Amino acid sequence: MSLHVFANIVTPFGTAANNRAETEGNITTLQKLLWMGDTHSTVSAEAIRFALRRRLGLLEPTNRSWDEDQRNNVWKDWTFKGWSPDSPGATFIDDDLLGFMTAEAAKEEANEVGEAADPKDKKKKEKGTANVRRAVLEITRAVSLTPWAGDVTFNAASPGATPSASKGGDRAKNPVPYGTELHATRYQYGVALTPERLRDKSRAAKAIESLCNLGTVAGNHGRFLFDFSPDAVVFRLTHDPAPRLLYCFGTVDDGKSVTADTLMKRIAVGDIDPKELLLGVSDLDSQLAKQLGAVGVAPLGVKAACAEAVKRINVELKVKG
């Protein structure tokens, strides 16, 4: 049976802003969704993947990287030649973990079965092609642990700071007013990984290490500083193909502390064996540590839990760590 690695992560408490959704006038908005009937702010999985790719690039060369000068992605091999079934070759860590897709349109229009678009033309037409690898490391959208209360700040850029947005004949003398939605909260998100699907199984450990050391995520040109490293993380190493612990964290005091009531219910009914779990927390005396400690899951520090997860994964996969 295959090993499956699941994790649910919750960040430290911080202030999120500049994680833009649709701009409304001069208001910089947060991405939001309805969650359990309330409005919560959210950070996309793609933003997390973008930050994760930078971390992975410190461990191995990546196929895609961000050029800060050109403000564009730079590719080493956008055709993904190493993944050709006819002539497999070297692959990059980000392609292996995060997947890829490249599509080529058909040179001539054809219907979905490859027949000519014009019935009078009996000659077969080529369909478009796609080279696709599904992500082995799957990441959920991050959702705020607490509802968004509608906080908005009023700001004004100093005269001359943003000439392109200033009004009037002498742009340098006019301040630029704008508003910013912000949210003081924690974010939680989950990941799933089946290491045996990787071309290089040693990359499973590198993925876990990178997630445990993730820094700034999301934002635009002025990225807000929000620590996306785990304040708490629960790993599940199992042969069960279903995660059963995604979005398992909650709070009873507006985010001051974190609980895992949903996870405890899953353990109580036997859906999750506590022997499969590893808990990393920043506070060993926290309510979360006490909850899981009561069912035999000894709490560790976040980095220690990460190291133990990496060790167990490498042992299971017979990878030298």
Provide the residue range defining the domain that includes 297.
Answer: 4-71+136-317
Residue 43 belongs to some domain of the structure: yes
Of the candidates 145, 141, 98, the one whose C-alpha atom is nearest the C-alpha of residue 251 is 145
Handedness of CA 30, 214, 187, 282 (dihedral sign): negative
Residue 24 belongs to some domain of the structure: yes
Query: What pTM does this model have?
Result: 0.87
Query: 């196929």: which residue's tokens?
Result: 63
User: pLDDT of 175-205, one tens digit each?
Assistant: 778 788 999 999 999 999 999 999 999 999 9
What is the mean pLDDT of the segment spanning 39-60?
Answer: 95
What is the mean pLDDT of the segment spanning 121-143?
Answer: 82
pLDDT of residue 29: 85
Q: If pLDDT is split at 50, 70 and 90, which confidence band does 251 have?
A: very high
Residue 62 belongs to some domain of the structure: yes
- Neighbouring CB atoms inside 10 A of 99's CB total 15
- Residue 210: both structure tokens together: 């990178």
pLDDT of residue 164: 67
Query: 């947060």: which residue's tokens?
Result: 30
Of the listed ranges 14-28, 68-82, 179-193, the one predicted with least confidence: 14-28
Confirm if 33 and 40 have CB atoms less than 8 A apart: yes
Residue 202 belongs to some domain of the structure: yes
Query: Cα separation of 229 and 282, whole Å?
Result: 11
Start-to-end CA distance of the chain, whole Å, equals 22
**How many residues does the structure list for the chain?**
321
C-alpha separations of 140 from 137, 188, 194, 219, 226 in Å: 10, 9, 15, 18, 18
pLDDT of residue 70: 85
Confirm if 281 and 298 have CB atoms less than 8 A apart: no
Residue 193 belongs to some domain of the structure: yes
Query: Cα separation of 48 and 229, whole Å?
Result: 11
User: 255 vs 86, which has greater pLDDT?
Assistant: 255
Q: What percentage of the chain has pLDDT greater than the value 90?
A: 67
Q: If pLDDT is split at 50, 70 and 90, which confidence band does 25 have?
A: low
Q: What angle do CA 148, 152, 156 make, to 5 degrees?
A: 155
Query: Cα separation of 23 and 108, whole Å?
Result: 39
User: pLDDT of 287-316, one tens digit each?
Assistant: 999 999 999 999 999 999 999 999 999 999
Residue 131 belongs to some domain of the structure: no
Rounded to 5 degrees, φ, ψ at 181 are -75, 140
Q: How many domains does the chain have?
A: 1
Query: Cα separation of 102 and 77, whole Å?
Result: 11
Rounded to 5 degrees, φ, ψ at 67 are -95, 110
User: What does pLDDT average to over the chain?
Assistant: 88
CA atoms within 13 A on the CB side of 314: 16
Of the listed ranges 86-100, 120-134, 216-230, the one predicted with least confidence: 120-134
What is the mean pLDDT of the segment spanning 91-101?
Answer: 96
What is the mean pLDDT of the segment spanning 205-222?
Answer: 84
Q: How far is CA 173 from the centre of its chain?
A: 42
Confirm if 298 and 288 have CB atoms less than 8 A apart: no
Residue 130 belongs to some domain of the structure: no
Residue 100 belongs to some domain of the structure: no
C-alpha separations of 72 from 64, 69, 102, 111, 289 in Å: 10, 8, 17, 35, 43
pLDDT of residue 155: 78
